[in-house]
Amino acid sequence: MEFAKVVRRRRMVRDYDPDRPVPPEVRERLLEHAIRAPSAGFSQGWAFLVLETPEERERFWTATTDGGTPNGWLTRMRRAPLLVVPLSNKSAYLDRYAEPDKGWTDRDESRWPVPYWDVDAGMAALLMLLTAVDEGLGACFFGVPPERIPAFRATFGVPEEYRPVGCVSVGYAGSDDRRSPSLDRGRRGVEEVVHRGGW
């Protein structure tokens, strides 16, 4: 698909056809594209947890949610045949930037203008969202509640230094995908958000 079309068509899909799994080659393309994301110092301090079997996905939803409400958001999201959890590893960045070419050997976190580890995992997530559109599938990035992160880690044996930045659900769009009320806010226009030559 033409790139501009992929960008324009991308939107979060929150209902999936449970009978259409993600083709393995599409799953692999999503992951191959994710690791093409840029990363500070080429640290690549990311990891991707792939959950595909019904049991794996069920364990994810059990660990990260309270079960939801009947016919609510979770009912439709649970139909996603593929979940990919991008995780960031802060210590990988502190280690990388302590190397001789960077020299931040004190590992002082105040040097970091923003958490680059989360930025980079987010960039990888966006590449997965765009790849899904390019392949004719839908995807959604959503958050993992902070109080659920310990249960998530315990369920999947995730090391303490890795933190999920969110989760990307992927699949063919279902027939009950509902428009998010957030969209009522409208997209802020270029002239509203862009400051040319100064604020």
Ligand X SMILES: Cc1cc2nc3c(=O)[nH]c(=O)nc-3n(C[C@H](O)[C@H](O)[C@H](O)COP(=O)(O)O)c2cc1C
- What residues line the site for ligand X (CB under 6 A)? 11-12, 14, 140-143, 166, 180, 182-183
Burial 65-79 (b: 16+ CB within 10 A, else e): eeeeeeeebbebbbb
Residue listed under structure tokens 């997530």: 125
Compute the least distance from the CB of residue 118 to ligand X, in Å. 10
Closer to ligand X by CB, 175 or 182: give it.
182
Helical axes 116-134 vs 24-34, angle rounded to 10° = 150
Compute the least distance from the CB of residue 198 to ligand X, in Å. 28
What is the maximal distance between C-alpha atoms in the chain?
55
Compute the least distance from the CB of residue 182 to ligand X, in Å. 4
Rg (CA), the chain: 18
Helix/strand/coil for 170: strand
The DSSP element (H or E) to which 51 belongs, if any, is: strand 46-51
Closer to ligand X by CB, 41 or 68: give it.
68
Compute the least distance from the CB of residue 10 to ligand X, in Å. 7
Closer to ligand X by CB, 64 or 96: give it.
64
Closer to ligand X by CB, 23 or 72: give it.
72
